[in-house]
């Protein structure tokens, strides 16, 4: 039986892995994972969708009221606006700095040490990072490094985490500190993946530094930049911990995931909380489609 | 999210781990030492905040409150481990550390195990809707966990699981599964076919093949996955807050430290030592297994 199967595989080399015909025991192998995924992804998706059309304790259908609330309530609009600021600035900073540093370290002998230094914050939780940055942002120049440093130049003290004009930026800096290492490592790998002969050929053709950058490097690492930026967007959409710890969403620093937590689990309003969760999910759907498409393409090429 | 870059990544990775190439791609005409100085400055800037907390955690309470940590670098030194002793003995931080461990270890092993089973079937067995199911799992990679929290909390409360470690074991296992299945399935599928074929010919069962061939060959992928899942669970705040936040006896370090920040001001010394205690394990894991960590990242690391 097995031999027969093997011959068939050898003869036709079907694209599928394994050559043992349909295996019903496979269902036992996938069952635990699939059941858990259904229970923690598919079922809640439907349930949350239902909650989002109901009132706070899910006893009455309210139509689109919760969604209208998200679109009109001043707190919600503030959260949406902040999330947008986060998305744009956080993505630009992490990808931009990651690219610059990756290009710089590419020619440095102590590359590994530099990369580690930038990478360490990734191992630290957002809670840990928030405590670390409390010592940077504290108002008192006895504790806060930033105010102490600026004090040297007679710059007045700033309430970095309480002043609505600057606190969102201060929080985005924490995120940038944590995630630039991630984008740097991925971009750096892509840079090293550019074949040497491509670069040599470009040099032979007399390509200058900027031609090299824009016409050779950028097109070759473009897809990688896209992947890194997408990762950042997904991260930032759900940004919660750092805001929960640093400001609790006060002083104009509210974001969608913070509102979600407050509405659903502090106010126990499952209606509004669920509508916010649905909003987060809907925004991510395009990424989901891109992922599956790419996966499918690769499967066909396998 | 490089999610699907697997095949391309292996060659990229080989290069990434190799020595830096002579002169870089772009900046070869700049002065080499100038660039070195620049990146060293960046690396130092990046390290200062963490270093500050580290120094602070060894300073006496009155010193933390009255002078910047940078002044503590100059003599007379007055470093002490008293903050750590206090934190472990008095503020329930020892229990929280234990809780973090009790939560993280099963919540790392379980998704790896269940994920590996499913990945094996997706890579090497034939069954109806195999690809559709696998693409379904891939689609779940980016779904925000927020979508699940309210309905699951309702169910957990009905089952009496809320506030129990088991709630977090189950939740983290489920939330970690799409990434585990995705990563392992791609790795398993890339293993040489001949190896498995000859095992089948020898009459080895799937179970035997899985444990004696697939698992030993997949140590690098399993290591990457273990690091990711462990760090993800250990560092998680939101899920712990919702499922065990109400029960201080079972709350992990992230929840306890986050609460401590809420009441900050006088307690800087507790906060510093507690935070470092919280970071120490992920940092050790990170330093000892950095290679696998970076491999895992290059192989794709999107999680909902």
Query: Is the pLDDT confidence value at A184 over 50?
Result: yes
Interface check for B123 against chain A (CB to CB < 8 A): the answer is: yes
* Range with the poorest average pLDDT among A62-71, A186-195, A202-211, B118-127: A202-211
Rounded to an integer, the average pLDDT of A145-159 is: 90
Q: Give A40's pLDDT tier (boundaries 50, 70, 90).
A: very high
Determine whether the interchain pair B52/A126 forms a contact, defined as Cβ–Cβ distance below 8 Å.
no
The yes-or-no verdict on residue B302 having pLDDT over 80 is no
Cβ within 8 Å, pair A291-B138: yes
The two three-digit tokens of residue B27, written as one number? 């900046």
Q: Which residue spans within chain A are E strands per DSSP?
A: none
Among A8-17, A75-84, A191-200, B235-244, where is mean pLDDT lowest? Answer: A8-17
Higher pLDDT: B113 or A16? It is: B113
As given in the structure block, the two tokens for residue B123 are 């890579």
Higher pLDDT, B79 or B176: B176
CB-based burial, B215-251: b 16+ in 10 Å, e otherwise:
eeebeebbbbbbbbbbbbbbbbbbbbbbbbbeeeebb
Band (A5; pLDDT cuts 50, 70, 90): very low
Length of chain B, please?
304
pLDDT beyond 50 at B9: no
Q: How confident is the model at residue A143 (pLDDT cuts 50, 70, 90)?
A: confident
Q: Residue range B85-104: average pLDDT?
A: 88
Structure tokens at A203: 């040099």
Predicted pLDDT at B23: 47
Q: What is the arithmetic mean of pLDDT over B48-57?
A: 92
**Model confidence at A3: pLDDT above 90:** no
The tokens for A149 are: 């440093």
**pLDDT value for B300:** 59
pLDDT at B6: 39
Q: Residue B263: what pLDDT?
A: 63
Q: How far apart are CA B217 and CA A59, in angstroms?
A: 53
- Average pLDDT (A111-122) is 89
Average pLDDT (A130-159) is: 89
Query: Do A6 and B200 make contact, defined as CB atoms within 8 angstroms?
Result: yes
Contact call for B258 and A245, based on CB within 8 A = yes
Which tokens hold the place of B226? 């273990």
Express each pLDDT in B231-255 by its tens digit.
Answer: 999 999 999 999 998 888 999 999 9
Chain A residues in contact with B39 (beta carbon < 8 A): 101, 104-105, 108, 114
pLDDT at A241: 93
Going from the N-terminus, what domains does chain A have, and what CATH number goes with each? 80-275 (1.10.3720.10)
List, as ranges, residues 244-273 from B with C-beta within 8 Å of A.
Answer: 254, 257-258, 261-262, 264, 268, 271-272
- Mean pLDDT is lowest, of A85-94, A122-131, A212-221, B110-119, for A212-221
The answer to whether B231 contacts chain A (CB < 8 Å) is: yes
pLDDT at position A301 is: 66
% of residues, chain A, pLDDT over 70: 92
For A85-96, the DSSP string reads HIIIIIHHHHHH
Q: How many residues does chain A have?
A: 302
Mean pLDDT of chain A: 87
The continuous run of DSSP H or E covering B223 comes out as: helix B219-235
Cα–Cα distance between B58 and A33 in angstroms, integer? 45
The three-state secondary structure class of A244 is helix
Nearest by CB to A124, from B70, B114, B282: name it. Answer: B282
Band of the pLDDT at A16, cuts 50, 70, 90? very low
- Tell me if chain A has a CB within 8 Å of the CB of B159: no
- Of the partner residues B68, B142, B241, the one whose CB lies closest to the CB of residue A288: B142
The answer, yes or no, to whether residue A94 has pLDDT greater than 80, is: yes
Counting one residue from chain A and one from chain B, the pairs whose CB atoms sit within 8 A come to 378
Helix (H, G, I), strand (E, B) or coil at A54: strand
Residues B285 and B226: their CA atoms lie apart, in Å, by: 10
Largest CA distance in chain A: 85
- What are the start-end ranges of the H helices in B27-92? 32-57, 61-66, 82-90
Q: Which of B26, B146, B290 lies at the smallest CB-CB distance from A277?
A: B146
Chain A partners within 8 Å of B144 (Cβ): 237-238, 257, 277, 280-281, 284
Question: Chain A within 8 Å of B29 (Cβ-Cβ)?
Answer: yes
Residue in A with minimal Cα distance to B203: A2
pLDDT of residue B3: 39
- Architecture of B2-30+81-299 per CATH? Orthogonal Bundle (1.10)
| Rounded mean pLDDT, B42-53 | 93
Tell me what ipTM this predicted complex has: 0.86
**The dihedral of CA B187, B189, B190, B196: what is its sign?**
positive
* Shortest Cα–Cα distance, B37 to chain A (Å): 10
Phi and psi torsions of A161, nearest 5°: -100, 0
Close Cβ partners of A30 (under 8 Å, ≥ 6 residues apart) = B117, B118, B121, B122, B133
Alpha-carbon distance of B127 to B134, in angstroms, equals 11
Cβ pair A229, A95 in contact under 8 A? yes
The reported pLDDT for the residue numbered B93 is: 86
Cα-Cα-Cα-Cα torsion A146, A152, A153, A156, nearest 10 degrees, comes to 60
The predicted pLDDT at position A271 comes to: 95
pTM: 0.87
Give the model's pLDDT for residue A211. Answer: 81
Q: Is B65 on the interface with A (CB under 8 A)?
A: yes
Return the higher-pLDDT residue of B115 and A7: B115
- Answer whether A27 sits within 8 Å of B27, measured CB to CB: no
């Amino acid at each position: 039986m097995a031999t027969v199967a093997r011959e068939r595989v050898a003869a036709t080399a079907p694209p599928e892995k394994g050559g043992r015909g349909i295996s019903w025991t496979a269902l036992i192998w996938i069952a635990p994972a699939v059941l858990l995924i259904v229970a923690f992804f598919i079922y809640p998706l439907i349930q949350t969708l239902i909650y989002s059309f109901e009132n706070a304790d899910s006893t009455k259908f309210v139509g689109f009221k919760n969604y209208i609330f998200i679109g009109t309530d001043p707190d919600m609009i503030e959260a949406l606006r902040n999330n947008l600021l986060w998305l744009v600035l956080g993505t630009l900073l992490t990808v931009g700095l990651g690219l610059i540093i990756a290009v710089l370290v590419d020619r440095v002998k102590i590359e590994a040490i530099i990369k580690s230094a930038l990478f360490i914050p990734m191992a630290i939780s957002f809670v840990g990072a928030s405590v670390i940055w409390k010592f940077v942002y504290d108002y008192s120049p006895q504790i806060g490094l930033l105010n102490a440093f600026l004090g040297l130049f007679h710059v007045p003290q700033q309430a970095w985490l309480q002043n609505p004009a600057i606190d969102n930026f201060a929080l985005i800096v924490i995120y940038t500190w944590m995630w630039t290492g991630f984008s740097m490592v991925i971009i750096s790998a892509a840079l090293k993946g550019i074949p040497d002969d491509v670069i040599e050929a470009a040099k032979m053709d007399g390509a200058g530094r900027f031609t090299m950058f824009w016409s050779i490097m950028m097109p070759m690492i473009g897809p990688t930049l896209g992947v890194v930026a997408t990762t950042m967007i997904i991260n930032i959409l759900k940004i919660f911990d750092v805001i929960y710890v640093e400001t609790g969403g006060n002083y104009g620093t509210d974001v969608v995931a913070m509102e979600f937590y407050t509405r659903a689990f502090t106010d126990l309003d499952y209606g509004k909380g669920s509508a916010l969760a649905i909003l987060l999910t809907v925004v991510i759907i395009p990424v989901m489609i891109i992922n599956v498409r790419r996966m499918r393409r690769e499967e066909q090429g396998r | 999210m490089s999610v699907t870059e697997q095949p391309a990544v292996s060659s990229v990775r080989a290069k990434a781990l190799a020595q830096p190439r002579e002169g870089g791609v772009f900046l070869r005409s700049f002065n080499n030492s100038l660039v070195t100085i620049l990146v060293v400055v960046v690396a130092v800037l990046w390290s200062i905040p963490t270093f500050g907390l580290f120094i602070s955690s060894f300073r006496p309470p009155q010193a933390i409150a009255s002078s910047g940590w940078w002044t503590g670098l100059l003599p007379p030194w007055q470093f002490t481990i008293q903050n750590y002793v206090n934190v472990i003995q008095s503020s329930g931080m020892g229990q929280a550390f234990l809780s973090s461990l009790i939560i993280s270890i099963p919540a790392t092993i379980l998704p790896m195990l269940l994920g590996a089973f499913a990945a094996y079937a997706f890579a090497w067995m034939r069954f109806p809707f195999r690809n559709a199911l696998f693409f379904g799992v891939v689609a779940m990679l980016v779904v925000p966990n927020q979508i699940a929290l309210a309905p699951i909390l309702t169910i957990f409360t009905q089952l009496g699981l809320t506030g129990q470690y088991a709630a977090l074991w189950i939740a983290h296992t489920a939330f970690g599964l799409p990434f585990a299945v995705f990563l392992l399935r791609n790795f398993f599928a890339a293993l040489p076919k001949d190896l498995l074929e000859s095992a089948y010919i020898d009459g080895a069962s799937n179970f035997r093949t899985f444990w004696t061939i697939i698992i030993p060959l997949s140590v690098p992928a399993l290591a990457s996955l273990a690091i990711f899942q462990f760090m993800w669970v250990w560092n998680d705040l939101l899920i712990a807050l919702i499922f065990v936040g109400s029960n201080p006896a079972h709350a992990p370090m992230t929840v306890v430290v986050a609460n401590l920040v809420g009441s900050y001001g006088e307690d800087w010394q507790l906060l510093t030592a507690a935070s470092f205690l919280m970071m120490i394990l992920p940092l050790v894991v990170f330093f000892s297994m950095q290679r696998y960590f970076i491999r895992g990242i290059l192989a794709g690391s999107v999680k909902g």
